Amino acid sequence: MESFCVNSLYAVSPQLTLSPRTKQKKAWRVRISSMAATTGNSVKNAAVSKPLQSNSKSNNSALEQLDIERGVCIPFRKYSPEIVRNKVLESRGAILSLISRGVEIVLSLGLYWSALVYDFLVGRDEEVVPFRARQLRNLLCDLGPSFIKAGQVLANRPDIIREDYMNELCILQDDVPSFPNQTAFNIIEEELGQPLEAVFSRISSETIAAASLGQVYRATLRATGEDVAIKVQRPGIEPIIYRDLFLFRTLASFLNGFSIQKLGCNAELIVDEFGEKLLEELDYTLEARNIEDFLENFKNDPTVKIPLVYKQLSGPRVLVMEWIDGIRCTNPQAIKEGGIDLDGFLTIGVSAALRQLLEFGLFHGDPHPGNIFAMRDGRIAYVDFGNVAVLSEQNKQILTDAVVHAVNEDYAEMANDFTRLGFLAAGTDVSPIVPALEAIWQDSSGKGLADFNFRSVTGKFNQLVYNYPIRIPERFSLVIRSLLTQEGICFTLKPDFKFLEVAYPYVAKRLLTDPNPALRERLIQVLFKDGLFQWKRLENLIVLAKENVAKMSSNPALQVRNTQTQRNWKVAKKLDLTDTIKDGARLFFVDEGIRRQLLLALTEDSKLHIEELVDVYRLVEDQIDIPSVAVEVARDFPTVVRDILLSWSASVLSDR
């Protein structure tokens, strides 16, 4: 079972090749959520605790552990330790370059480490932290693109470094000196297979943006006159990245003992996570597919703009996209002066972020202010899809469980959710973490919705993960960074903006209206606590969900889009509870346990709770189309009768 995920596809045929992505699916990713859900714990235990007998087996176990935690496997990887090793040891010249680079890295990091040891020995390690943190940031910049990327990752890894160093590394930006235009133009022509002037009538003489892995130009297509953005990869960067990844993993092998003690996993596993994401960013064909996925996800959302990609003009080193004519969130003053409705724009932004995370499971991993635009019609636009992350259905369900456990103040189960998500190694004793989680959540939630913010919770959580053997998987470090960054943008544009006042109504609406059976189960968990029905909690959910529907249906961006496109976008103006009522009726008749709980809820404390029931009905009476609900329930009636008979026959047979 341990090898099934990755190796079974190769067992079919050594020459087997698959298209990078099937229609409407995330290509190079194969969902195995159901298998992971049933076998994940046993396989994960094997991956974590089984003695490793060879380097090859160690490498496979680490990668398989990542697959199992994510609930997905990647049958054809761009990254594996073997691929990296073969790339950097393919010639004598490459080996000499590797040795030279290794000496440079060891000397640079060794000198820095020696300075830290000296500070500790003379007792001044705390007082020089700001200086040493700045020194580390500058050192990573000097060592090149791989180390800049590594610094950006460390800026979101409180499980690896302390918070004051993280804050300094957050300053790391991708803006670096651009490489010569002629070099970039030569790369574009190589990818296009024809001269620039044959495709573009104009191209900017200066870069629009320069980053560690590439730079961007603005151009006009000769055939259509459309403005486009051209993203060009830095020349010769791939061999440098492979070389550095090999050295990273070699250095990590010396830190495995410390890493297992501190994080409960090998240091090599962390390098593998980093390497996978970095090599994905190097292949612009993957970024083009990411854009197509985002376009598909948001195709019916008139408030979100995703740029079109010109695949026929793109390749592994060049990406041609629709030009986004908006205001970057790096310029909040221009947004405020542009006549854009700030509340509407921020509501759209928060809702779009939550949809990516909880609904699609595919989210933008680097939504910094330079990658988010405010369109002049009030929409939000995203660019730069090289760094995206995927959450499997299993991961999303566990995250929802964690939210439910937080609402129900079940901190022991919340700690167990950490193990299920890969934060803790299987078999770890979670009892010491429970009081810390309780203190963090109660302190933060006790301030009330208005004063709650992710940064304060994250600060306390950082201290927790630094003091306990907790590893933050790469995909969840991206989730944390994504939420923190977008919350920061909200506060920059409107300092008194309440992030959770938008987030809570969205989550409430999903719990009440999403037909996903898993979410129905979570809704029941929220509504019952210690066997008692929470009438007030149900009322709050309905009020919040109605608020979300009202905000989105009246958003200024939607009104502008309908006027501009002469198209009436289908945006709900009422809280559609048809599926919820239908499923609730089914559960009442079919599930004896639910039926008993609901009857007890209506009669608990030896009285009929008619008043509470009437209060709930008054909240939803203007939202429900009674005839439509009756028709749906009637259509479902034969199925309900069948389920009742099956349930009854099963109970009779079990009694015998």
Which residue type is seen at 585? A
- What are the helix and strand counts (H, E) for the chain? 29, 15
Q: How many CB atoms lie within 10 A of CB 515?
A: 11
The token duo for 427 is 């078999």
The phi, psi pair for 603, rounded to 5°, reads -125, 10
Q: Which segments of 63-119 are extended strands (E)?
A: 72-73
Q: Which residues pair with 373 in a beta bridge?
A: 328, 381
Three-state SS at 577: coil
Q: How many CB atoms lie within 10 A of CB 474?
A: 23
Helix axes 517-527, 578-590, angle to 10 degrees: 80
C-alpha 3/C-alpha 5 separation (Å) is 6
C-alpha 103: how far from its chain's center?
A: 36
Query: What's the full length of the chain, in residues?
Result: 656
**Contact, 227 vs 238, CB < 8 A?**
no
366 as an active site residue: the answer is yes
Q: Which residues pair with 532 in a beta bridge?
A: 529
Q: Which residues pair with 381 in a beta bridge?
A: 305, 373
| Residue tagged active-site, from 366, 384, 417, 576 | 366
C-alpha 46/C-alpha 487 separation (Å) is 39
Which residues lie closer than 8 Å to 328 by C-beta, 6 or more apart? 369, 370, 372, 373
Q: How many CB atoms lie within 10 A of CB 603?
A: 11
Q: Are strands 372-374 and 327-328 parallel, antiparallel or unpaired?
A: antiparallel
Choose among 365, 299, 372, 297: nearest CA to 340: 372
**Contact, 558 vs 299, CB < 8 A?**
no
C-alpha 426/C-alpha 140 separation (Å) is 34
In a 13 Å sphere around the CA of 373, the CA atoms on its Cβ side amount to 16
The phi, psi pair for 418, rounded to 5°, reads -60, -40
Three-state SS at 385: coil
What is the DSSP secondary structure assignment for residue 76, as one 8-state letter? S
The per-residue DSSP string of 157-195 comes to -TTTS-HHHHHHHTT--S--PPPPHHHHHHHHHHHHTS-
Choose among 394, 37, 96: nearest CA to 243: 96
Q: Which residues pair with 327 in a beta bridge?
A: 374
Which residue type is seen at 496? D
**Contact, 32 vs 5, CB < 8 A?**
yes
User: Is the C-alpha dihedral spanning 631, 636, 638, 641 positive or negative?
Assistant: negative
Provide the H-helix boundaries in 494-567. Answer: 499-513, 517-527, 535-553, 556-565
Convert 353-381 into a string of H (helix), E (strand) and C (coil).
HHHHHHHHCEEECCCCHHHEEECCCCCEE
C-alpha 465/C-alpha 163 separation (Å) is 11
C-alpha 461/C-alpha 449 separation (Å) is 19
The token duo for 27 is 């290509």
Helix axes 55-70, 33-49, angle to 10 degrees: 140
Q: Which residues are catalytic?
A: 366
